[in-house]
Every structure is written in C-alpha cells, then in structure tokens.
C-alpha cells in the first residue's frame, strides 16, 4: 500500500510486467503535460457550462428550496433544518451581499465545479497513473450530466468541492505520511479533519459516511492513535455544532432525524405500508445497484441513451467485479486508492440501502462519478500490468478513447438542445421552453404576489418555486394527512392561510395526460363537500392546463 513510484523495466516474482510499455509511456507523457491538460479541462468546463447554462429553477423544487432557506436565514435568522443546512448557509452569504440574484447563485455552482476540478487534480497527482488522472479530468470537464449541476442551486457542486477538499487534506496529512504524529504536535490537523467531515455531513447527510471511511482506513492500516484522535476531532466538532443549534437557534436533534422515518418506510408517501425489514433492505440495495450502476452510470459515460429506463444485471455484476479487482490492487499497492475504494463502498453502499428505489435520481450518484471512474480504471490499469492480462494495455486506451467520443457526442447533443433556450432567455423570454402548466402556475403566483395584500398568506403546492418567481413567501401544502374537512380547514386557519393557488401541474412533466399533481385539488375538494361556501373563486389564468386562485372564507 505504498505510494506509486516511477515504473521500471523489471519483472517481479509474481509475474507483474513492469516493462516500459505503452501505459508507462502514456504516464510519462501525461505527467509532463498534466498542467496543460488541467488548463484544457478548465476551458472545456467553462465553455460547456455556458452552453448548457440553465437560468430556471427545476420543477422538483429542491434547488429553489435551498434558496428559500438561505433567504429565511438572512431575514428571520431561521436555521435550515431540513436536508443539509450548510449549503443554504453558504448561499445566504451571497444573498446578504448581492440580494436575491438567481443567476449569480447559479454561477456559484460553476465556481464550485472548477474548484473541485483543481482540488481533484492536486489530490491525485503523483498518487495514481497520470494517464488515468488526465483522462478523468477531461471526461468530467465536458460531461453534460455533471455540468448540469454547474448552473443549478442543488447542493451537488458544493458537495463535490468539499469532497475534493476533504480528500486533498486527508491524503496530505494522514495518507502520505508514514508515521502520523500524536495529538501533542498534530491536534489542529485532527480537529480540522473533523471539521471537514462535519462540513460534508452538514451539506448532505450521506457525507457523515466519510467519518466511517476514515475509521475503516485507520483500522486496516493499524493506525490506532490516529483512529482515536481523529474520532475525538470529529466528535468535538459535532458537539460544537449541536451546542450552537441548541443554545443559539433553539434546535435539538440531528438534521436527518426528520428524514429517517421516511427512509425507513416501505413507501415514503404511505405510512400504512409499514417499515422496511431486513430482507426488504437487501432487496432495496440490489434494486438500487441495478438502477444506479447499470443505468445511470452507463448513461453518464455515454454507453446508454438518455432515455434508457431498463436495467441490466450483467452490467451491475460487471461493475462490482471491477470494484473487487480495484480494491484488491489498491490494498496491495496504493493506499490512496485504498481509501478511495473504502469511501466509495461506504457512501454508495449506505445510499443504496437507505434510499427507496422509487426515487431513481441520478443526482444521488453523480457526486461520486470522478472517483468511480478513477478507481475502476485504476483496477484495470493494475490488472493490465500482470503478464497474463497484458492485452489490457491496449484495450484500456481504446476504451478511454471510446468514452471520450461518446461523452463528447452526448454533450454536443445537449448543447444543441439547449441552444434555443439559451438564446431566448438571454433575449428576455423567461418562459421559453416551459410547458403551459408551469407557465400558468408561475403567472398566477406572480399575480397573487402583486395584487393581494402583503400580509395575506397564500398556499400552493410548490412554495419555493413561487417564491423564486414572485419574490414573496408562500405556504406549502405538500400532502393530505386526513380527509376530515374540519381538520383540513383548521390547519389552514392555524397557519393564517387566506388564499390558495390550485394548478394543473403535470404528474409526468414531459407529456400532458389526465394525471396531475392533485394535492391542492383534493384538499379543497374535501372542504368543499361540507363547506362549499367557504371556498370562493377569485381568478383563472390560462385556457389549457389552467391555474386558479381561491379565497378561504372562515
């Protein structure tokens, strides 16, 4: 598990061919030109990020929710409690200085992607094959799937930057040194390590898995003092943030306590189906493995089409087989890759276990894409250096060239699809490309914000999106907990809701069907059945896929 050295011409007793072969030549060339290729990757990232730039918030609402929580922190000193709080707090700094500038907030994600690219390069330079490192840098610099997050206010880009910073720091002070100093001379390093792990966890709950990765790595390498002191550094940091939340913001409990119950359920939207059992979690793990490894991962590298929905057990097994090969060689030869493999196994493994397969969101695994590519191809790289697998020396570069062109072709297609939208938005058409259901919903949100009293509380299904476009806070109705009209009406009254927006938002965004997100419609229907006089029609916007505004009469 030592740091890779310059390859020599000798063969060892195990039959490993260390001759000055094709891969060694590639390593020598890319090592000398690595800075140039880093600059090229910066150029590609900037170019394609601009060509793929998306000025809108997504229909999912999570990205606009981060902005809303940041705004609440600035205006109400309200600590973000749902999902990771650190990213909204980070956005709050820019909102405080520059105001609610959505394009600026989106551009911060681009800066985060560029910072990740640089830190990723600095972290692995000299620790892995230069050929593989440059290859991964170039691929991610114009990967359309990853660059989507360079113009979104999701937490992915920010998390990847922190993840790269964590790897850089851990490699420099805890992996590269043969003997880690004790607490007396190294206490600040242990404390800062704990701070970085905490930052990952505060950005996305899965980030706490980094702590478990560090623990496993120190156990395998038998660094017991480092294990003890790094654990102490993390616990001190975790305790400090808990005290701050409790005594400054009057918040107790962890950030994922509100998510845990939902994750334990068989159906996140139906409590009556009960909680998952052991066999259920195993099935969930395998279902997610198929979804994210055989579908999303192969879509990321251009080997599957954008619209692919089927999974492949063979491809899933192939990825796991490559991982086993890579972890074996990492354990034998390269402790940097060993930690990378442990980190991937822990965080992706936890993701596959705790997340219901129905979510099926590529963003859950895209944050690990650069590490996955580097790790898996390192396994093939080391395997090719064995005499019996020498043929892989030629196969590996060919495979990389194929991935280069499939990625490039896929991204160019995305650029062409985005061209009309980008041109139209830059010319001032903010609704270009939106479907009528969303246009009517947003226009109704804007009309309500402009024409209703400032102190009136307006309820809707997507309050964070309404907030972005209308620059006014809305009350969210996300689910119906009862069919009792009195209880439903009482909930509105307790939250001072005076108006409700009911829209025809599509259940399937890409096509108009009879199915819509009907939460608000059902909510009002149950009330109307008993109290028809308490719901008064105010306004309609749109002829097709309409949006309505109602007043609640108490």
The pLDDT tens digits for 281-293 are: 899 999 999 999 9
Six-digit token string for 218: 């120190």
Distance CA 340, CA 253 (A): 31
The pLDDT tens digits for 211-252 are: 999 999 999 999 999 999 999 999 999 999 999 999 999 887
**What are the extents of the domains in the chain?**
22-414, 436-552
DSSP state, 295?
I
The pLDDT tens digits for 359-404 are: 888 999 999 999 999 999 999 999 998 888 888 888 899 999 999 9
- What residues pair up with 342 in beta bridges, in sequence order? none
Distance CA 4, CA 19 (A): 15
Is residue 245 within 8 Å of residue 202, measured between CB atoms?
no
Is residue 160 within 8 Å of residue 123, measured between CB atoms?
no
Instruction: Note the pLDDT of residue 261.
Output: 65
Which element (helix H / strand E) includes 499?
strand 497-503
Q: For residue 415, which of 60, 143, 117 has the smallest C-alpha distance? A: 143
Instruction: Note the pLDDT of residue 379.
Output: 95
What is the full DSSP assignment across 448-481? HHHHS-TT-EEEES-HHHHHHHHSS--EE----S
Instruction: Note the pLDDT of residue 2.
Output: 47
Report the chain's terminal Cα–Cα distance, integer Å.
Answer: 71
| 3-state DSSP assignment of residue 33 | coil
Instruction: Note the pLDDT of residue 8.
Output: 39
Is residue 203 within 8 Å of residue 250, measured between CB atoms?
no
According to CATH, the topology of domain 436-552 is: D-Maltodextrin-Binding Protein; domain 2 (3.40.190)
Q: List the chain residues with pLDDT less than 70.
A: 1-20, 253-262, 266-272
Instruction: Note the pLDDT of residue 59.
Output: 84
Instruction: Note the pLDDT of residue 9.
Output: 38
């Amino acid at each position: 598990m030592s740091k890779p050295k310059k390859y020599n011409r000798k063969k060892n007793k195990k039959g490993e061919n260390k001759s000055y072969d094709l891969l060694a030549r590639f390593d020598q060339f890319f090592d000398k030109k690595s800075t140039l290729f880093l600059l090229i990757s910066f150029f590609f990232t900037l170019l394609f990020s601009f060509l793929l730039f998306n000025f809108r918030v997504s229909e999912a609402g999570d990205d606009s929710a981060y902005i809303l929580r940041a705004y609440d922190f600035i205006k109400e000193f309200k600590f973000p409690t749902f999902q990771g709080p650190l990213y909204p707090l980070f956005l709050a700094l820019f909102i405080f200085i520059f105001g609610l500038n959505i394009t600026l907030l989106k551009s911060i994600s681009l800066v985060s992607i560029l910072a990740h690219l640089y830190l990723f390069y600095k972290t692995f330079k000299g620790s892995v094959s230069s050929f593989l490192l440059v290859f991964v840098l170039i691929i991610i610099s114009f990967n359309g799937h990853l660059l989507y997050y360079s113009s979104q206010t999701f937490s992915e880009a920010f998390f990847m930057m922190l993840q790269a910073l964590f790897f850089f720091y851990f490699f420099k002070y805890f992996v590269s040194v043969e003997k880690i100093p004790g607490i007396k001379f190294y206490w600040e390093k242990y404390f800062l390590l704990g701070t970085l792990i905490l930052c990952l966890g505060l950005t996305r709950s899965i980030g706490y898995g980094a702590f478990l990765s560090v623990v496993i790595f120190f156990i395998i390498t038998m660094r017991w003092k480092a294990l003890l002191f790094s654990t102490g550094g993390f616990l001190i940091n975790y305790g400090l943030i808990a005290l701050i939340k409790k005594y400054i913001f009057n918040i107790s409990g962890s950030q994922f306590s509100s998510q845990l119950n939902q994750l334990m359920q068989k159906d996140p939207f139906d409590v009556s189906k009960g909680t998952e059992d052991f066999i259920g979690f195993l099935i969930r793990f395998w279902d997610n493995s198929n979804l994210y490894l055989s579908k999303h991962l192969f879509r990321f590298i251009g080997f599957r089409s954008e619209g692919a929905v089927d999974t492949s057990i063979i491809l899933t097994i192939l990825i796991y087989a490559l991982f086993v090969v890579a972890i074996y060689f990492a354990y034998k030869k390269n402790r940097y890759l060993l930690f990378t493999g442990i980190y991937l196994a822990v965080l992706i493994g936890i993701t596959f276990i705790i997340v219901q397969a129905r979510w099926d969101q590529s963003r859950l695994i895209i944050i690990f894409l650069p590490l996955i590519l580097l790790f898996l191809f390192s396994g093939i790289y080391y395997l090719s250096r064995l005499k019996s697998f020498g043929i892989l020396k030629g196969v590996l570069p060919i495979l990389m060239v194929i991935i280069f062109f499939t990625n490039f072709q896929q991204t160019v297609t995305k650029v062409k699809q985005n061209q009309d939208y980008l041109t139209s938005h830059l010319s001032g058409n903010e609704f270009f490309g939106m479907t009528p259901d969303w246009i009517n919903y947003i226009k109704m949100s804007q009309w309500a914000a402009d024409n209703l009293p400032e102190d009136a509380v307006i309820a809707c299904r997507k309050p964070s999106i309404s907030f972005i476009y209308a620059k006014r806070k809305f009350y969210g109705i996300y689910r119906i907990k009862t069919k009792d009209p009195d209880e439903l009406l009482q909930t509105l009254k307790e939250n001072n809701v005076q108006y409700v927006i009911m829209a025809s938002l599509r259940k399937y965004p890409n096509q108009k069907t009879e199915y819509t997100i009907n939460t608000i419609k059902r909510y009002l229907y149950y009330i109307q059945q008993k109290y028809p006089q308490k719901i008064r029609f105010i306004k309609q916007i749109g002829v097709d896929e309409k949006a309505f505004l109602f007043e609640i009469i108490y």
